[in-house]
């Protein structure tokens, strides 16, 4: 082990190992130093053992039941006394001698081996019962050991204890069980820019969320999370924190500081105190992971971006924790899906792409969502993950891919898929759909109005959101549908009317008054993506005013939602075209330009299906209407109204 100064001088380069190879190498090393073995077994009360993993087989101490028990209310008898009973030749038995009254669960009296159900007994006179059907030996009796026989194995070793197992253990006379200890996992967030939730935020500050997410995953996978205070970017401070964590934990996770930048000390600290086995894997996101070992304990440097941190946990922390309790991690369920659009990936890197899913006709459609490593919401919204292999450059639109499911397939099949233009009202509508029909959900992919109509043409969605203005007629949507979906029977239903305009900074410091000001050299603009109805509207205004798009500083800068445009303005851009609700949400100013009609284009093939009828029901909910109107800039005068039909 060299001194810290030598370590600080030493360059640590990122590798590009395939993640499977990196994991195999890491586990092999840890196994060699005994770091993957479960700890010594501990004995816990059965009542407290739910979710724990058995360290040895568990055997019954008692039989269950431990006596011959009546299985019905009635009369216990010796079966041979009833033989020959029939409708024409009934058998009579004396109560208290030949027939003993019993309730369900009572011990069977000595000499009895069957029970006559109370409803099969007749009472011709006091103290006598009469039967017209015989019973056979052990009929309506629970014999001793019917469920569990003493010394029988109830649970094997390496078994995670379930609620039903608790009943079996207790019924078998077992009150305590030997289980593997839950691994203690120290989680160390690092970074001078990181602040605790609720702390003061300054430019450059980052709210610390990763340790909470990792703590939740550790608990879910059977470990005990030990979340530590934030450590600043300092070699000595981080070394001290790691040493302290090693004293009380079986595994140490150091968050951030793994990218080999000027202030990334994690790899240097691990190398100084122990050994770095892997630094960098060929995955996207999650490349700068560090797999190390100190004093025969695993120490993992977790990337700081939230999605990278989550993927690192899934690929490297999860299998390690499962091994520490004597199990192998379960595989996620998979399904085949059709990609709704082209998915391009970098050759040589295995990419894990989050997707939204929904069943349209006979196909499950997968729509890629935001791929940035810092986008926590992409994990929240994702229904599944598509892996793009290292030796592939991606998949084409319409290609079938394997999806690892993050949500049950049954829920995915109840999802209404809307592809097209973005609107905040869709998010509210999805919430009310869920309130009215808990199994249902709305999957909204924001690709623009034109792309949404294209998705309908290819049979990839149940409906499309659209607000395309015809420059010549001033009509919304109909012209485009006729051109792009010729002969396709569709229904055009209004969702909202909304105000479109320029979103500008609070106080409008640049004094922007209208579209013409976007051509000023001192104004920076943020645009919507090609095919978006808002982009079509902008081009319409530019054409009317004779403004060349090349004159606009930022015309090529694209965002995919109104809220993203508003966020860009809040972050420094001078203006963007969007809806009033987005401006109000972020406390920005708004210059109204037009009221536009936002419709839902629905193929008639889906009109009578639950996917559409449930949505129409939610659109009529008073709560939905109140909530949308409260956003500002909306008018729901025609919400749910059929505006036009084709075919």
Q: Residue 373: what pLDDT?
A: 64
Look at residue 535 and tell me if it is in a domain: yes
Residue where a domain terminates, one of 413, 448, 482? 413
Residues 292 and 214 placed together within one structural domain of the fold: yes
Structure tokens at 434: 């869920």
- The lowest-confidence range among 5-9, 256-260, 635-639 is 5-9
Q: What's the rounded Cα separation, in Å, for the pair 145 and 132?
A: 31
Helix H, strand E, coil C: the string for 196-251 is CCCCCCCCCCEECCHHHHHHHHHHHCCCEEEECCCECCCHHHHHHHHHHHHHHCCE
Mean of the pLDDT values across residues 399-424?
Answer: 92
Q: Residue 6: what pLDDT?
A: 43
Q: What's the rounded Cα separation, in Å, for the pair 29 and 38?
A: 16
Residues 22 and 48 placed together within one structural domain of the fold: no
Look at residue 435 and tell me if it is in a domain: no
Residues 191 and 161 placed together within one structural domain of the fold: no
Assess whether pLDDT exceeds 60 at residue 556: yes
Residues 128 and 160 placed together within one structural domain of the fold: no
DSSP 8-state class, residue 146: S
DSSP 8-state class, residue 349: S
What's the domain range around 48?
42-64+147-179
Q: Residue 192: what pLDDT?
A: 85
Q: For residues 193 and 217, is the Cβ–Cβ distance under 8 A?
A: no
For residue 263, the domain's CATH number is 3.40.980.10
443 class by beta-carbon count within 10 Å (0-12 exposed, 13-18 middle, 19+ buried):
buried
Mean of the pLDDT values across residues 405-420?
Answer: 92
* 490-499 tens-digit pLDDT: 999 999 999 9
For residue 76, the domain's CATH number is 2.170.190.11
For residue 166, the domain's CATH number is 3.90.105.10
Look at residue 401 and tell me if it is in a domain: yes
Q: Residue 374: what pLDDT?
A: 62
Look at residue 422 and tell me if it is in a domain: no
Q: What's the rounded Cα separation, in Å, for the pair 451 and 464?
A: 9
Q: How many structural domains comprise the chain?
A: 5
Residue where a domain terminates, one of 123, 142, 161? 142
Q: Residue 2: what pLDDT?
A: 40
Look at residue 641 and tell me if it is in a domain: yes
Percent above pLDDT 70 for the chain: 96
Look at residue 131 and tell me if it is in a domain: yes
Residues 241 and 261 placed together within one structural domain of the fold: yes
Percent above pLDDT 90 for the chain: 77
Look at residue 443 and tell me if it is in a domain: no
- 11 pLDDT band (50/70/90 cuts)? very low
* 95-151 tens-digit pLDDT: 999 999 999 999 999 999 999 999 999 999 999 999 999 999 999 999 998 889 999
Peptide bond into 122 cis (omega under 30): no
C-alpha to C-alpha distances, 78 to 75, 100, 312, nearest whole angstrom? 10, 10, 68
Mean of the pLDDT values across residues 301-326?
Answer: 95
pTM for this structure?
A: 0.83
Assess whether pLDDT exceeds 60 at residue 7: no
Mean of the pLDDT values across residues 272-293?
Answer: 94
- 448 pLDDT band (50/70/90 cuts)? confident
For residue 343, the domain's CATH number is 2.40.340.10
Residues 478 and 358 placed together within one structural domain of the fold: no
Residue where a domain terminates, one of 396, 413, 430? 413
Assess whether pLDDT exceeds 60 at residue 49: yes
Q: Give the chain's radius of gyration (CA, Å).
A: 34
Q: Which of 4-18, 465-479, 587-601 has the highest mean pLDDT?
A: 587-601
Residues 345 and 216 placed together within one structural domain of the fold: no
Structure tokens at 121: 């007994």
For residue 578, the domain's CATH number is 3.40.190.10
Assess whether pLDDT exceeds 90 at residue 12: no
Residues 13 and 80 placed together within one structural domain of the fold: no
Q: Residue 55: what pLDDT?
A: 97
93-112 exposure pattern, b = at least 16 Cβ within 10 A, e = fewer: beeeebbbbbeeebebeeeb
Look at residue 137 and tell me if it is in a domain: yes
Assess whether pLDDT exceeds 50 at residue 444: yes
Residues 34 and 49 placed together within one structural domain of the fold: no
Q: Residue 472: what pLDDT?
A: 83
- Mean pLDDT over the full length of the chain: 92
Residues 48 and 103 placed together within one structural domain of the fold: no
Residues 23 and 56 placed together within one structural domain of the fold: no
Q: Residue 376: what pLDDT?
A: 75
Residues 584 and 599 placed together within one structural domain of the fold: yes
Q: Give the bridge partners for 129, in sequence order.
A: 93
Q: Residue 259: what pLDDT?
A: 55
Q: Residue 597: what pLDDT?
A: 94
Peptide bond into 65 cis (omega under 30): yes
């Amino acid at each position: 082990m060299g001194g810290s100064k030598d370590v600080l001088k030493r360059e640590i380069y990122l590798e590009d190992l395939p993640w499977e190879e990196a994991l195999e190498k890491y586990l092999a090393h840890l196994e060699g130093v005994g770091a993957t073995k479960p700890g010594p077994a501990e004995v816990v009360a059965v009542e407290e053992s739910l979710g724990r993993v058995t360290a040895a087989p568990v055997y019954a101490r008692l039989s269950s039941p431990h006596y011959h028990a009546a299985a019905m209310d009635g009369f216990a008898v010796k079966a041979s006394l009833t033989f020959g009973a029939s409708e024409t030749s009934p058998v009579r038995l004396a109560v208290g001698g030949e027939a003993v009254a019993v309730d369900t669960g009572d011990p069977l009296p000595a000499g009895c081996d069957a029970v006559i159900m109370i409803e099969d007994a007749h009472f011709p006179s006091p103290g006598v019962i009469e039967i017209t059907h015989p019973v056979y030996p052990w009929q309506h009796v629970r014999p001793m050991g019917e469920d569990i026989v003493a010394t029988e194995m109830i649970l094997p070793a390496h078994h995670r204890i379930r609620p039903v197992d608790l009943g079996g253990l207790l019924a078998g006379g077992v009150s305590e069980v030997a289980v593997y200890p839950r691994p203690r996992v120290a989680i160390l967030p690092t970074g001078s820019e990181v602040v605790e939730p609720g702390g003061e935020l300054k430019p450059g500050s980052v709210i610390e969320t990763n340790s909470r997410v990792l703590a939740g995953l550790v608990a879910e996978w059977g470990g005990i999370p030990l979340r530590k205070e934030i450590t600043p970017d300092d070699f000595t401070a981080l070394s001290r924190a790691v040493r302290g964590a090693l004293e009380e934990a079986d595994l140490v996770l150091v968050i951030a500081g793994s990218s080999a930048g000027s202030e990334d000390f994690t790899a240097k600290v691990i190398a100084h105190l122990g050994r770095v086995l892997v630094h960098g894997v060929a995955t996207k996101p999650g490349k700068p992971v560090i797999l190390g070992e100190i004093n025969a304990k695993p120490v993992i440097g977790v990337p700081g971006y939230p999605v990278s941190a989550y993927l690192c946990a899934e690929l490297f922390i999860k299998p390690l924790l499962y091994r520490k309790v004597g199990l192998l991690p379960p595989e996620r369920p998979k399904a085949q899906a059709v990609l709704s659009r082209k998915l391009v990936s970098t050759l040589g890197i295995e990419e894990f792409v989050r997707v939204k899913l929904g069943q349209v006709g006979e196909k499950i459609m997968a729509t890629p969502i935001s791929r940035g490593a810092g986008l926590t919401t992409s994990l929240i919204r994702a229904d599944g993950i598509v892996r793009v292999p290292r030796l592939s450059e991606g998949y084409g639109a319409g290609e079938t891919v394997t999806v690892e499911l993050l949500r049950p397939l049954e829920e995915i099949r109840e999802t209404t898929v809307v592809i097209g233009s973005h609107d905040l009202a869709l998010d509210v509508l999805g919430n009310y759909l869920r309130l009215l029909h808990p199994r249902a959900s709305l999957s909204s992919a924001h690709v623009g109005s034109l792309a949404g109509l294209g998705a309908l043409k290819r049979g990839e969605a149940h409906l499309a959101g659209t607000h395309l203005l015809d420059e010549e007629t001033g009509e919304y949507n109909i012209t485009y549908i006729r051109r792009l979906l010729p002969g396709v029977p569709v229904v055009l239903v209004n969702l909202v009317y909304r105000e479109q305009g320029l979103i500008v900074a609070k106080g409008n410091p640049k004094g922007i008054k209208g579209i013409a000001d976007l051509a000023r050299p001192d104004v920076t603009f943020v645009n919507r993506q090609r095919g978006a109805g808002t982009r079509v509207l902008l081009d319409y205004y530019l054409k009317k005013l004779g403004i060349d798009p090349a004159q606009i500083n930022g015309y090529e800068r694209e965002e995919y939602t109104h809220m993203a445009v508003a966020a860009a303005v809040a972050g420094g851009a001078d203006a963007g075209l969007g809806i009033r609700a987005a401006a109000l949400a972020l406390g920005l100013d708004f210059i109204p330009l037009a009221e536009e009609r936002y419709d839902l284009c629905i193929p008639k093939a889906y009109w009578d299906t639950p996917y559409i009828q449930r949505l129409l029901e939610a659109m009529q909910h008073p709560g939905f209407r109140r909530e949308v109107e409260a956003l500002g800039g909306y008018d729901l005068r025609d919400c749910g109204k059929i505006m036009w039909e084709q075919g």
